[in-house]
A and B are shown apart, each in its own frame.
Chain A
Amino acid sequence: MAEPHIDVRYVANLARINLSDEEVARYSSQLEDIVGYIEKLGEVDVEGVEPSAHPIEMSNRVRKDEPVSSLPAEGFLQNTPDQSNGQLRVPKVVDA
């Protein structure tokens, strides 16, 4: 199993969350405990066992290919924090 050491600030950045120094310290110690505990799975013999992504085996279920009505754009846009001309507005992403 992997070393139970988490670089919380690095992982929080991957998850796109800012953390204060106090939070980093607190989560580091709590997550060390939790990860230390889940290391327990290292004991289990999983040789030849298929992983389960779901509790039941089903795949590629498709509905009938018939057009159905869907929510109008306004329905989706009513909850956006910032919009303009029927589109979501965000800070500049690409430099000119």
Chain B
Amino acid sequence: MSLASSSLSSLRQKLVAGEITSRDIVQDVIDQISSRDQEIGAFLSFDPDSALSAADQADLSLPLGGLPIGIKDNINVEGQPCTCASKFLKGAYTAPYDATAIARLKAAGAIPFGRTNLDEFAMGSSTENSGLQTTHNPSAPGHIPGGSSGGSAAAVAGKLIPATLGSDTGGSIRQPASHCGVVGLKPSYGRVSRFGLVAFGSSLDQIGPLTHTVQDSALLLNAIAGEDPRDSTSLHEPVPDYTEGLDQGVAGMKLGLPREYFTDGISPQVRERVETAAKSLESQGAEIVEISLPNTEYAVATYYIIAPAEASSNLSRFDGVRYGNRTGNPEDMLSLYKDSREAGFGPEVKRRIILGTYVLSSGYYDAYYLRAQKVRTLIRRDFEQAFEKVDAILTPVAPETAPKMGDATGDPLKHYLADIFTISANLAGNCGISVPLEPIDGKPVGLQILGPYLGEKEILRCARAVEASE
């Protein structure tokens, strides 16, 4: 097994034992990307020299000492590009600072390595909306990797790098993890600082890890979680050791199956895999109960009002003045804005900005945005009530395995509807993880385990039990 395809925890053991050096790992990552990423398309760019020199200075006394971590190209790493896979920023932006999650990775000894592809500004669930590059699913050739963190998932699944960071606004870590067959964790809202993550939906976004193993997911969460004075929505809560108790098993845990998630919209094979996983956990001592999340059918509509509304506001900063590309030689400010935004943004980004502007506009605000915020309260209450009865909830991640490339382009609503199982956790703020199950006809499929607010330890433990029995 190559170093680039190994888990962080196994590499750590070898590093500490002196069997390998950080340079060996980084060099293998560079070699793997150079020889194989032309076919996968996971990375938009990387800087081998700075990574090798960081490897030579690795401090192995730190928990992630000398380990390279791929970074989604919407998280700022000082001195590196941050394109958000958009023509707006391509070649026109170098991050002047580190995102807090990156500063924490570095403080834990890790080496942020390279920039992974995404749907432009993280808007999409296939990575086909990247304005810069196509990413292929290394585990299911001819199929999308999922998205928006498709590059981060494909990089791990394609054995180019041991682990990556992504961001999740409506499923953008969990869904590509499911489609590519890796572990993807969305922490609770506020668990990880958003400072330095290019904002899409500020009340929804979270940074989280994509890894080969549940143990690695916990290791990375240990490093990036915690309060940050630069993000007023980060939580003033202590960070436990997430690797502790992972192998305790699920005996005595109560796990819920929400009946609204098992409807006609889900493929029978995906349903079968999730039910089999539930039975396996039951045989390990968990109690499985049916629960209800009655407002599930309104989640997609609520999300596709709130997320575009926040996006339309957040993306107003891309105006051709402060950063990014300015188009043409405009004679007045209005043309400067409009020309730069026309040339810089791709179709999905324009569509969402227009939708968001519409739902916030005078005369429509109450009917759409305000109403969606109220339904959001109801969706949150659904989860609060469910978690009074159960410790975690088991669901599919997506209704089907990864679609073929190009299948849903041209019909955005069809794409949006497939987000049904992941977006509620962003609306309610609770945590969720996708862990691989037995593939369906060779294509990966994940189980989603949703936890209560700050229930990361519970879902990691449960995910570890699934991983151990698969």
Residues of A within 8 A of B (CB): 1-2, 6, 8, 11-19, 23, 27, 30-31, 33-35, 37-44, 46, 49-56, 58, 61-64, 71, 75-76, 78-82, 88, 90-93
Contact = CB atoms under 8 A, between A and B. Distances in A.
Given A34-B413, A38-B368, A55-B203, A44 B333 contact: no
Contact of A40 (B298, B331, B351): B298
Contacts of A61: 232-233, 236
Nearest to A74: B96
Contacts of B94: 78-79
A81 B321 contact: yes
The 7 closest A-B pairs by CB, nearest first: A55-B429, A51-B373, A81-B326, A75-B96, A79-B323, A18-B342, A46-B374
Contact of A41 (B298, B332, B342): B298
B198 interface: no
Interface string B352-377: 01110111010110011011111111
B305 interface: yes
Given A15-B353, A17-B353, A56-B429, A79 B368 contact: no
B337 A16 contact: yes
A47 B428 CA distance: 20
Contacts of B358: 6, 11, 31, 35
Given A6-B358, A17-B345, A82 B368 contact: no
Contacts of B342: 17-19
B380 interface: yes
A2 B339 contact: no
Contacts of A56: 189-190, 233, 235, 429, 453
A2 B305 CA distance: 14
Contacts of A23: 347, 350
User: Do most interface residues of chain B lie in helix, strand or loop, or is the interface mixed?
Assistant: helix
B324 A16 contact: no
Given A30-B351, A33-B412, 18 more contacts: A15-B357, A16-B337, A18-B339, A23-B347, A31-B355, A34-B412, A38-B301, A41-B298, A41-B368, A42-B367, A51-B373, A54-B203, A55-B428, A71-B96, A88-B321, A88-B322, A90-B321, A91-B331
B377 A52 contact: yes
A34 B355 CA distance: 9
Contact of A79 (B92, B351, B363, B375): B92
A21 to B, nearest CB: 13
19 contacts: A16-B316, A17-B338, A18-B339, A34-B416, A46-B378, A51-B370, A51-B374, A52-B374, A52-B380, A53-B373, A56-B190, A56-B235, A56-B429, A71-B96, A79-B92, A79-B323, A80-B323, A81-B325, A90-B336
Contacts of A17: 338, 341-342, 345, 350, 353-354
B364 A2 contact: yes
A93 B350 contact: no
A12 B204 CA distance: 24
B220 to A, nearest CB: 22
Contact of B350 (A1, A27, A49): A27
A40 B299 CA distance: 10
A88 B319 CA distance: 12
B395 interface: no
B281 interface: no
B295 interface: yes
Nearest to A51: B373
B258 to A, nearest CB: 18
A36 B158 CA distance: 40
B354 A31 contact: yes
B302 interface: yes
A55 B355 CA distance: 22
B23 to A, nearest CB: 30
Contact of B96 (A39, A55, A76, A88): A76
Given A11-B354, A17-B341, A53 B203 contact: yes
A55 B347 CA distance: 29
Contact of B333 (A37, A40, A91): A91
B387 interface: no
Contacts of B301: 37-41
Contacts of B232: 61-63
Contacts of A12: 350, 354, 357
B142 interface: no
Contact of A8 (B97, B236, B354, B413): B354
A52 B383 CA distance: 14
A14 B453 contact: no
Contact of B368 (A2, A30, A33): A2
Contacts of B347: 23
Contacts of B305: 38, 41
A80 B322 contact: yes
B229 interface: yes
Nearest to A7: B358
A12 B334 CA distance: 13
B427 interface: yes
B101 to A, nearest CB: 18
A1 B370 CA distance: 12
